[in-house]
Structure formats: structure tokens, C-alpha cells
Structure 1
């Protein structure tokens, strides 16, 4: 049985592209996702079993998430200025919640040698960025980092991919990764 986090991650990456090929199975989607929010998120997608996001690394449960997995996770909305300076509303999963669900040591568990762990975010085009875990942990900060799947009520554009990071409080958008496909927990070399 797939966890909600696993289902959620796989959904976001491949579904918009597949819907263009007419592979949507509305009866299957309606049977699996009875809640209105899940049905709405899945309506534009085709195959829900395609892997969208892989989460792996030190001390976490390796997880592959589909569009269906991602749709089941709690979503949040944030307003932020995009790369072009235009105000936009982004909807998605808070990165903290997603990582916590696979066993990332947050809260009182994030201390000592675990403070040398970091998150490596990888995009489909090979672009990579790093976040120290305290930058994400609610015990250290009130910052919100969103793994977004919607902008202004619509699915992300093809250029943005199925998933993108949104970091509203950063002045530069260098870590607003488009086309996110992998999240890895790594340890800084000693």
C-alpha cells in the first residue's frame, strides 16, 4: 500500500504532460479520490501511477511519489512575486511536511551530527540547489518553502514542470527550482 506522501510526489511530475495525450481515466480517478480537492487536482492529469518525485538519502524512507500520492497530501497557498516581479498565488505541499513524512529528523531530533545534513533538490534539466535542514525545520524558522503544483489556480506551465519550489522570502529566485524530480538528504563531508 502506498503512503499518501508517496502518492503525492508521483502525481505532480508527469500528469500534465500525459493529459495532453488523452490518457485520463475519469472513472478510475473518481473511484480512488472521492474528495473534491483530490478530484480537482487530478482532473487535469492522466495516469496517476507515473513517478513524479523521488525522495531518498541518509536516514529517510526512500519514496517515489505519483500524482495520486501528492494529491492526497495537505496543500497550502502562498502569494509571492515570481522571477518577473509579478504577484502570483502558488499552491502546493509545504516542503517541511513532505520531508517530515519520510523521516527527516526535524524538531528535537535535528541536533548534533544531524545538523550537517542538507537537502539537495534536483531538476529534470540537471539544475541543483541545496538547503540546510534548519532552513526548513519549523523548530528553527517560520519560513515557508512550497513544493508547488499550481500557479494562479492552474497547473504549472510546461516550462515550470509538474513541480517547482517556491521560496517567498528570498530576494533572488536562484533556489526557485523548476521541474523538480528528486529530493535527497545528504551529509556534508567532514
Structure 2
């Protein structure tokens, strides 16, 4: 049967068409992944991709990198710590005076376009301390049916952030915001919400039922705060999601900003009761009802963080909901593979 030869030019056109389609379509058919691309806010010279051999070599050559997760049914996933892995290549923003990592996040994407965001702070041992891993073995054997690697987030209520057929890890970073200064008197919920709303101490207290939380971790052990749920407050403004994209909420994050320019990123999947389900309070008083004083009228309180109060953003001025751009790294990485394949097909045997 006659077979038409496809030129490198045609492969290039096909690749570009695929990329444009991928950027405009929420998902495409999943294929079994054999490598993932790594990009974004990383040090120059960082590896561009990892396959199974490279991932296993990373685990063998980096002390403490290999981690396991044991499920309630007895299954054991083996892989590398997502936090430590990304930390090996992460760039430092020298313009940020304190806790630069709180501005970092990663978008994990599968070959079907499914994606989930993780803040780097939620995995960091000094803050959220979640044991999320890039798994490459299940019960001692290579993964079957979920690609050579997948994300496993054992602390999540549901497995929505367990991205299978892992194809891309893209690290993002929030640039340092110029300081406004002073004690805050209001903040605004904005970004990808149906309606932007500004709150002062009176309207915040009236917006939702008050909650009182006790902090049992340093540096605020023994403190208590009164406020409202961050997740519930964001939902009052109506988080905008695409109903055509499965778990679209997992591709979004919120940036909390203080008047001094201090910021912290929270993945909405970390806050969502169906997934990470962590409790974050937008506090407007201490546990006895007294004002927060020089912390402004409102402060984020993250009672589950283990060692530092770094995500306690004081003098709150804004809560901005942001959606990640669809698969910038995955599309380019996949396109490069298609182009390389096309060039190999086009090259005549010697």
C-alpha cells in the first residue's frame, strides 16, 4: 500500500496546530506518559525533563529525597518528595525580603490536560508540611495505567490532585508587590470572582458566622483568633470556574497581600473541603474579641502550619483569585517531542 512521506515542514505545521488546539481546548485524549517536562521559575541549567531512569537516579543520589506513602488499603507508593525535588532547582527572588517560597507554586499537568496547583509552602516542612510525592512505583513495581509517574497527595480528602500520566511540572512565582505601608483598614476580594467585594472590620464580621480557632504550633502557640473561613469568604464572591473542565477549581490559587507587600500563595485545592481541606481563618479579632492592633483589622491565620507563622499575612489588603495558564510547559514539551519524532521519520537511513 502506498504510504505518503511526511516532510519535516508538515510535522512542524502539525505541531503548531496541535499546540494552538491544546491551548484552546480544556482537555484531550490521555496517552501514557514516559517523561515529564520541568520548567518555570528555576535556576538556569536545570534539567528540562525527567524519565523513569532520571527520576530513580535523582532519588538515589539526593539524601532523603525518596519518600513513601502508605494508603489505608495497604498500598504503598514510592517516589520522591515533590517539595525537595522542586527545591533542588528553584530560583531565589532576591527582591523579596522575607519568605520568598511563599510566593511560589507548581502546576502539575497530565497528558489529558488535567492539572492541579500546589503552593510550595503547603509542602514545605516549615509551613504546611504535606508529604506530596512524585510516585514512580506502587507496591515495589512500576506504575501501570497511570503513566510512569504520578502525583500522590495523601493528605487530600479526595484524590483530585493525584495527577496521573504526569507530563509537566511548571513552577510559577509571584513578583514582589510594592509596599503600601501602614495599618490596613480594608481589603478586597478580587481576581477571578463574579463580584469583587471590599471589607472593613464591620462588614467582614457580618459577612459570615464567626469562628474561633486556637493555635497549637509555634510561634503563636496558645493564641486564639476570631474570624471567618477564607474558603467561605472567597465563595461569597463567586469563584469563576469553567464547568467544561473537570475540577477546574484545582487549577487556581489565591494570593494574600499585606500592606507591606508581604504575600502568600494558597492553592484553592488546598483550601477546598473536598481536597486539601485545610482551615485558614481571616481573623478580625483575637479569641476574646479584641482588635488585632498593629496587625491591621484583618490577618490570615493558618493554625495547621507546623513551625512558622509565615503564612499569617497581617495588614491584609487583598485576596486575589488567579487561574493558571493552560499547560504552557506541557504544550511546548509535547510539541518538541512531536517535532523530534517527525524529524526522525523524515531523516533517510544512512
1:67 aligned residue (197, 201, 205)? 201
What TM-score, normalized to structure 2?
A: 0.37
CA RMSD of aligned residues (A): 2.5
Moved over 6 A (4+): none
Aligned partners of 1:157, 1:147: CA distance in 2, in Å? 12
TM-score, normalising length from structure 1?
0.65
CA change 1:67–1:150 in 2 (3 A) is closer
Corresponding residue number in structure 1 for 2:323: 187
Offset of residue 111 of structure 1:
3.7
> Could you tell me how far apart the structure 1 residues matched to 2:230 and 2:245 are?
16
Offset of residue 110 of structure 1: 8.3
Counterpart in the other structure of 1:77: 212
Q: Structure 2: which 5+ residue stretches go unaligned?
A: 1-183, 329-350
1:137 correspondence with 2:272: yes
Q: Any idea what the Cα deviations from partners look like across 1:23-65, whole Å, max 9, x if unmatched? A: xxxxxxxxxxxxxxxxxxxxxxxxxxx9612011024311112
Q: Deviations over 1:81-110 (max 9, x none)?
A: 46534301111001111011111258x998
Q: Is the 8 A contact 1:60 1:185 kept in 2?
A: no
Cα 1:188–1:142, aligned 2, differ >3 Å: closer, same or farther? closer
**1:52 matched to which residue of 2?**
186
Distance 2:279 2:240 in 1: 18
Residue 138 of structure 1 aligns to a residue in which SS? coil
CA change 1:105–1:141 in 2 (3 A) is farther
Alignment of 1:9-158 (within 5 A): 52-72=186-206, 73-81=208-216, 84-104=219-239, 111-158=246-293
Quick one: structure 1 residues 52 and 164, their matched pair in 2 at CA, closer, same or farther if it must change by over 3 Å?
same
Larger relative contact order, structure 1 or 2 (CA cutoff 8 Å, min sep 6): 1
SS of the aligned residue for 2:282 comes to strand
Residue in 1 that maps onto 2:60: none
Number of matched residues? 140
Q: Which is higher, the Rg of structure 1 or of structure 2?
A: 2
